[in-house]
């Protein structure tokens, strides 16, 4: 696999530097560590800060959602690796405006450990924190074990809601409750067609036979629920949307936001083919799509495949999604 990089060990710092040079009006490094980015106007006094973080390789996930009406800062790990607790703590201090800080990130062991350590450090500095974990991957655990699910593309809905609530001046407890509510009503499932090649090793993150696909794959190549022959786009959408609707127990008359997300190497045209069938399925079930997103929102370097996310909406959740937001990779309003 050919890659446009310099030395593999400098890959993360160099693409972060590129983001900073391209978007100095939106993001900054609050200190000397390139692995910590904050919105350009941080800290905002009297407003809740929102810190996210995770491994590199998923742009625009994590780093791309720092900005107005979204996250306040991000701690950046190596490819598919957690950021350190020190980096998370630096991000926390950079966005603390006296109203506390929400930690919002995916449910992965290394991230949980290091964010918890950072929360302990923040407590010593009298910075209040709350944690909400993205855990929307329905293929990773059944509904009765939903607290153990992985966090994948559906966390973008949570970023949007949390950022809008913080922007309007909600308290830390209110922002955390709103974010938890959105996570509770979000479900995602991914399908993988070909692996990513890790820059540091040159090896694939997983292996699939020619003509094979995997339903339920994770964004690091974690095993899905089943493998089998490549299906048509309509068959894929049928399997995935049926699982998401059942998981959220959606009925006729429900409203949803839909995200069809590319994992890095899937053409936009193919994503719209998936969206076409997703729209048909939901319409046939009497479920209204009030908001849709089609594109790359949470990738896995050049992994081929896609994910579909549904967020069950009420008036409050829809208003939060539609509130103004702007970051290097996302804009609303």
The per-residue pLDDT for range 161-170, each reduced to its tens digit, is 999 999 999 9
Active site residue 185: no
List 23, 47, 185, 220, catalytic entry: 220
Backbone angles phi, psi at 101, to 5 degrees: -135, 130
Taking a C-beta distance cutoff of 8 angstroms, is the pair 319, 312 a contact?
Answer: no
Residue 207 pLDDT: 87
pLDDT score of 1 more than 80: no
Q: Provide the token pair at 196.
A: 């990513």
Beta-strand pair 49-56/330-332: unpaired
**Averaged pLDDT of the chain:** 96
Task: Check residue 329 and give its pLDDT.
Answer: 97
Residue 82, phi then psi, degrees to nearest 5: -70, 145
Task: With beta carbons less than 8 A apart as the criterion, state whether 213 and 230 touch.
Answer: yes
What is the pLDDT, as a whole number, of residue 174? 98
- The token duo for 313 is 């909406």
pLDDT of residue 205: 85
What are the tokens at 39?
């919105």
Average pLDDT over residues 76-80: 96
As beta bridge partners, residue 260 has 294, 308
Q: What is the predicted pLDDT for the residue at 264?
A: 97
Lowest mean pLDDT among 4-8, 153-157, 222-226, 261-265: 222-226
Compute φ and ψ for 286, nearest 5 degrees: 75, 20
Residues 6+ apart with CB under 8 A from 201: none
Whole-number Å distance between alpha carbons of 243 and 138 = 8
In the chain the domains, ranked by start, together with CATH numbers, are 8-185+323-332 (3.40.50.10440), 186-314 (3.30.1180.20)
Residue whose tokens read 């938890």: 180
> Which pLDDT belongs to residue 261?
98
Query: What does the pLDDT average to over 208-226?
Result: 92
The pLDDT, as a whole number, for residue 124 is 98
What element of type H or E holds 165? helix 155-167
pLDDT exceeds cutoff 90 at 211: yes
Residue 27 backbone dihedrals phi, psi, to 5 degrees: -135, 160
- Decide if 279 is catalytic: no
Pick the catalytic residue from 23, 47, 58, 185.
58
Q: What is the pLDDT of residue 41?
A: 97
Cβ(68)–Cβ(324) below 8 Å: yes
Asked whether the whole model's pTM tops 0.85, one would answer: yes
221-277 tens-digit pLDDT:
898 889 999 999 999 999 999 999 999 999 999 999 999 999 999 999 999 999 999
pLDDT of the residue at 201: 82
Residues making up the chain, counted from first to last = 333
Cβ density class 283-301: b for 16+ within 10 Å, e for less: eeeebebbbebbebbbbbb
- Residues 237 and 83: their CA atoms lie apart, in Å, by 34
**How large a percentage of the chain has pLDDT more than 90?**
93
The mean pLDDT value for 92-117 works out to 98
């Amino acid at each position: 696999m050919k890659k446009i990089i310099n030395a593999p060990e400098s890959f993360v710092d160099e693409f972060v530097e590129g983001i900073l040079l391209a978007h100095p009006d939106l993001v900054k490094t609050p200190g000397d560590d390139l692995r910590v980015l904050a919105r350009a106007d941080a800290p905002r006094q009297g407003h809740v800060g929102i810190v996210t973080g995770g491994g590199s390789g998923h742009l625009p996930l994590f780093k791309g959602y720092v900005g107005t009406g979204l996250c306040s800062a991000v701690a950046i790990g190596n490819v598919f690796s957690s950021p350190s607790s020190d980096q998370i703590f630096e991000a926390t201090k950079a966005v603390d405006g006296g109203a506390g800080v929400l930690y919002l990130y995916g449910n992965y062991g290394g991230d949980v450990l290091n964010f918890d350590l950072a929360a302990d450090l923040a407590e010593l500095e009298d910075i209040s924190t709350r944690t909400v974990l993205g855990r929307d991957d329905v293929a990773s655990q059944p509904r009765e074990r939903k607290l153990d699910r992985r966090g994948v593309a559906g966390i973008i809905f949570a970023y949007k809601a949390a950022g809008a609530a913080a922007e309007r001046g909600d308290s830390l407890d209110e922002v955390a409750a709103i974010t938890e509510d959105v996570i509770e009503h979000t479900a995602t499932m991914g399908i993988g067609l070909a692996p990513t090649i890790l820059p540091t090793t040159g090896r694939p993150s997983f292996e699939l036979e020619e003509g094979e696909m995997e339903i339920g794959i994770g964004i690091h190549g974690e095993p899905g629920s089943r493998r089998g022959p490549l299906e048509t786009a309509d068959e894929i959408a049928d399997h995935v949307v049926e699982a998401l609707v059942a998981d959220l127990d959606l009925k006729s008359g429900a409203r949803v936001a839909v995200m069809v997300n590319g994992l890095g190497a899937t053409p936009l045209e193919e994503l719209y083919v998936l969206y076409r069938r997703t729209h048909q399925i939901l319409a046939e079930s009497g479920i209204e799509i009030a908001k849709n997103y089609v594109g790359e929102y949470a990738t896995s370097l050049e992994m081929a495949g896609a994910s579909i996310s549904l967020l069950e909406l009420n008036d409050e959740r829809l208003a939060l999604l539609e509130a103004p937001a702007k970051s290097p990779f996302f804009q609303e309003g």
